[in-house]
Amino acid sequence: MQQKIVEVKSISRLHEFYGCAKPRHPLISVIDFGEIDRSTMRADIFEYAYRMDLYAIFCKKHHGPLKYGKRYYDFNEGSLMFLAPGQLITPEAESQVETGWGLFFHPEMLNGSSLSGRIDGYSFFHYDVNEALHVSDQEKSILNGCLANIEREYTNNLDAHSHDLIQFNIELLLGYCQRFYGRQFLTREKSSRDIVQRFELLLKSYFQNEKPLQRGIPDVRYFATELCLSANYLSDLLKRHTGKTTQEHIHFQLVDKAKVMLWDSDRPVSEIAYELGFEHPSHFNKLFKSKVGKSPGAFRGAD
C-alpha cells in the first residue's frame, strides 16, 4: 500500500501540524521541540510521509550510539539535519520524545538577497539523513546565537531592517554549518579515507571491464549508491580529501583510459568513444579536448 503524503506548504500549516500557536512571521519560524504537546498531535502521524515547501534545519539531541553511514558512533552532544523544499520526511515512532529546535523558512524569505541565488551551493541540504552534522556543545552555542538573533528579529516589531537582518543571520548560520562539516570530514579521517579508497577501487574497476560498453559512462549517483552515500556528500568528501569532485574523478579516469586506448591501437576514434560508453563520438571529442588540450586524433598523432 502506497504511503499517503501530507503537504506542508506554509509556515502556518507547519504550526498546525505541530500544534503550535499562530506564527509570528508568515515566512520563517523557530520551533522548540521540547515545548510541543504531542498529545494534541494526530494519532496516525506515523502512517504518513510529509513534504514541505520549506527549508528546514533540525537540531536534535541523541542519546547512545548514532548511526553515521554504515558505522555507529557514540555521539551524545547533538546533530543537525538539513532539508530542502520538496523533500519527504517520514517520522519514526521512536522519535516521539524530542529535544532541540527546528528552523523553518520559506524560499520567499530569501527574495531580494544574494543568498537566494546561492543557497543551492550549500550541498548539505541534499545529504541523506545518516550524513547529519554532529556538533559539539561549543559549536551548538554558536548556532544557537544565530538562531536567537533570527527569532528576536521576527518576534519583535518589524522595521525596515528586520528582513535584511534575518537573511544575514540565516546566511551566517549556514556559513558556520559549512565550517563545521569541514571539521567533521577531518575528524572522521579514517572513515573518510576508507570511502576514498573504496571509491577509487570502484572507479578503476568500472573502466577495467566492459561496463562502459554495457552501461555507458557512470554518473555520480552510481558510485554514491554503491557506497551507500548521497551524491552531494560523496562529492564534498572527495573534494575535501583529494581536491576533485566525483565528476572530476570520473572524467580523469575516463580520459586516462582513453589515452591508453589511443596509444595502443589504431582503431577509429569513434570506436574507442563507443567502447568508453559515449553514445556520440562528438561528446567524447569535446570532453577529451577540454581535459587534454587537443582532440583525440591530434593526441594520437603527436610525437
Q: Are residues 168 and 232 in the same domain?
A: no
Residues 17-46 have a mean pLDDT of 80
Q: Are residues 57 and 77 in the same domain?
A: yes
Tally of domains within the chain: 2
pLDDT tens-place string over residues 86-108: 887 765 544 444 578 999 999 99
Q: Are residues 16 and 93 in the same domain?
A: yes
Q: Are residues 87 and 103 in the same domain?
A: yes
Residue 203 · residue 211 · CB < 8 Å: no
Q: List the beta bridge partners of residue 66.
A: 73
Q: Are residues 146 and 20 in the same domain?
A: yes
Residues 49-59 have a mean pLDDT of 88
Residues 194-202 have a mean pLDDT of 92
Rounded-to-10 torsion of CA 186, 191, 196, 201: 170
Work out the pLDDT band at 65, boundaries 50, 70, 90. very low
The confidence score (pLDDT) of residue 76 equals: 47
Is 75's pLDDT higher than 70?
no
Residue 112's Cβ-count burial label (10 Å; 0-12, 13-18, 19+) is exposed
The confidence score (pLDDT) of residue 130 equals: 74
More confident residue, 29 or 158: 29
**Ramachandran angles phi, psi of 223, nearest 5°:** -70, -35
Q: How far is CA 219 from CA 1, 124, 165, 182, 272, in A?
A: 32, 19, 40, 24, 19
HEC-encoded secondary structure of the chain: CCCEEEEECCHHHHHHHHCCCCCCCCCEEEEEHHHCCHHHCCCCHHHEEEEECCEEEEEECCCCEEEECCEEEECCCCEEEEECCCCEECCCHHHCCCCEEEEEECHHHHCCCCHHHHHHHCHHHHCCHHHCEECCHHHHHHHHHHHHHHHHHHHCCCCCCHHHHHHHHHHHHHHHHHHHHHHHHHHCHHHHHHHHHHHHHHHHHHHHCCHHHHHCCCCHHHHHHHCCCCHHHHHHHHHHHHCCCHHHHHHHHHHHHHHHHHHHCCCCHHHHHHHCCCCCHHHHHHHHHHHHCCCHHHHHHCC
Is 164's pLDDT higher than 90?
yes
Q: Are residues 96 and 79 in the same domain?
A: yes
Q: Are residues 151 and 222 in the same domain?
A: no
The confidence score (pLDDT) of residue 226 equals: 93
Q: Are residues 170 and 58 in the same domain?
A: yes
Domain end position, chosen among 128, 160, 187: 187
Q: Are residues 181 and 195 in the same domain?
A: no
Rounded-to-10 torsion of CA 247, 253, 254, 257: 180
Q: Which three cell numbers stand for residue 105?
A: 523558512
The confidence score (pLDDT) of residue 265 equals: 81
Work out the pLDDT band at 24, boundaries 50, 70, 90. very high
Work out the pLDDT band at 3, boundaries 50, 70, 90. low
Residues 42-60 have a mean pLDDT of 77
Q: Which three cell numbers stand for residue 71?
A: 558505522
The confidence score (pLDDT) of residue 293 equals: 92
Distance CA 132, CA 229 (A): 12
The confidence score (pLDDT) of residue 33 equals: 82
Residue 274 · residue 296 · CB < 8 Å: no
Q: Give the gyration radius of the chain's Cα atoms.
A: 24
Domain end position, chosen among 142, 166, 187: 187
Residues 165-169 have a mean pLDDT of 95
Residue 190's Cβ-count burial label (10 Å; 0-12, 13-18, 19+) is exposed
Q: Are residues 169 and 64 in the same domain?
A: yes
Work out the pLDDT band at 68, boundaries 50, 70, 90. very low
**CATH assignment at residue 97:** 2.60.120
Is 166's pLDDT higher than 90?
yes
The confidence score (pLDDT) of residue 74 equals: 42
Residue 233 · residue 240 · CB < 8 Å: no
Is 111's pLDDT higher than 60?
yes
Domain end position, chosen among 172, 187, 202: 187
pTM for this one? 0.76
Expressed as residue numbers, the domain containing 60 is 4-187
More confident residue, 19 or 66: 19
Work out the pLDDT band at 38, boundaries 50, 70, 90. low
The confidence score (pLDDT) of residue 185 equals: 85
Q: Which three cell numbers stand for residue 192?
A: 573518510
Residues 21-47 have a mean pLDDT of 78
Q: Are residues 100 and 243 in the same domain?
A: no
More confident residue, 13 or 189: 13
pLDDT tens-place string over residues 285-300: 999 999 999 999 888 8
Q: Are residues 250 and 147 in the same domain?
A: no
**CATH assignment at residue 239:** 1.10.10.60
pLDDT tens-place string over residues 199-240: 999 999 988 877 887 888 889 999 999 999 999 999 999 998
The confidence score (pLDDT) of residue 303 equals: 44
